Structure 1
Amino acid sequence: MRMSDIIAPDTAASRAALEIASAYHTPSLLNHVERSWLWAIGFAETRELEPDHELLYVAALLHDLGIVREFDNHTLAYEDAGGHVAIALTAGAGWPAHRRVRAHEVIVRHNWPEVDPEFDTEGHLLEIATALDISSARSDELPVAFRREVLDRYPRLELAAEFTACVKDQAVRKPDTAARRLVDGGVERKLKENPLERPYSLDRP
């Protein structure tokens, strides 16, 4: 498993998703969504799943846009708001209605506690990929060399502080959303204690 073997889909929607993510995310959050896509592809290989690669890429790149000020919704959960951005973007790229809805579903479900792969392959992969990036959950499923390669290419920078602040803000303003569950579940601690924050630790047995 090597990054050089993983190629982003070359489609209008994929290019637009990267352009929007790059324009609106901080460097830390942009690297987070890029890593999330790569972790998802890694899990697809280890778990022998066959996702829709374009759908997974677009959803991964856009999954946290709802915490960005320009797309923050005063009532909707941030993952729901981000999902609606994905609907608009993919409509512009010519996706049919049912596939646009799938982009929204995958983004919303990445914040579920668990997604059955038989129910939603892409939602499952994005959920476990983002969980890995936030808390290092299931990281042992992916080769150490691959994890190091991804972290070298997309360093974590200030993700722990930035994501914690954003999710806490969401939880205060929208206490009935998944952000509240993430905060109550210790997202700040999980980020601080994530071994991926200390890449040198990956070499330890």
Structure 2
Amino acid sequence: MRIADIPVPETVAARGALTLAREYHSPALTAHALRSWLWAEAFARVDGITGVDHELLYVSAVLHDIGTVTEFDNHTISYEHAGGHVGVALTAGAGWAFERRQRVLDVIVRHNWPSVDPERDAEGYLLETATALDISGARPDALPEEFVVEVLTAHPRGALAAEFGACVVDQAARKPETAARRLVDGGVVQKLAANPLERL
């Protein structure tokens, strides 16, 4: 498996998502988003997940943390809900039908669930699994090592551990009823630092 085996969707929505990520995210957060997409596509192959909407998965992965940035942070709802609504707005402009726009919201929100049933939501399962690897170090040996090294070389982790850890702690303090509080209570800061991907 190589990065070249995973085509970037050449669509208005996909290009728009990447543009937003690059304009609003830090370099570390953009790299995290792109790694999450690549991990998700790789897990689809490893776990035998079929029928994936690849454009939906790409848009959701690239925008899944955009609700953490100042311009899209919402003081009343979780960062994953805020980011999901950015995805809804973007895909409305790209002409997506209502039901498919709502799927972007679902997938982004579910990336912060403890687990997602792949039978219920293939894209949600893949993004949750991918972000669990990139943030918490879950299933570090599930993907081919050569592919993991290639992805990390193309999209380095940089200051992700410190930056995202501080971000989630801030979200949890301001919005203690959201998933950010559960992540912090579950040791996400420590998991970020101990993630084996940090040592590759």
TM-score by length of 1: 0.96
Aligned residue number for residue 49 of structure 1:
49
Q: Are the counterparts in 1 of residues 79 and 171 from structure 2 also a CA contact under 8 Å? A: yes
Distance 1:11 1:191 in 2: 33
SS in 1 for 2:177: coil
SS in 1 for 2:123: helix
Superposed counterparts of 1:8-157, under 5 Å? 8-50=8-50, 51-157=52-158
Q: Are the counterparts in 1 of residues 67 and 74 from structure 2 also a CA contact under 8 Å? A: yes
- CA shift at 1:48, angstroms? 1.2
Distance 1:164 1:151 in 2: 19
Distance 1:171 1:137 in 2: 22
- CA shift at 1:141, angstroms? 1.1
Distance 1:88 1:105 in 2: 14
What amino acid maps onto 2:174 in structure 1?
Answer: R
SS in 2 for 1:169: helix
Distance 2:48 2:195 in 1: 26
Distance 2:138 2:64 in 1: 18
The list of structure 1 runs, each at least 4 consecutive aligned residues, that deviate by more than 3 angstroms after superposition, is none
Aligned residue number for residue 186 of structure 1:
187
SS in 1 for 2:141: helix
SS in 2 for 1:70: coil
- CA shift at 1:102, angstroms? 0.3
Deviations 1:111-158 (A, max 9, x none): 000000001000000000000001220121100000000000000000
What amino acid maps onto 2:153 in structure 1?
Answer: D
Equivalenced residue count is 199
Structure 2, unmatched stretches of 5+, are none
Structure 1, unmatched stretches of 5+, are 200-205
Distance 1:181 1:34 in 2: 24
TM-score by length of 2: 0.99
Percent same amino acid among aligned pairs?
Answer: 65
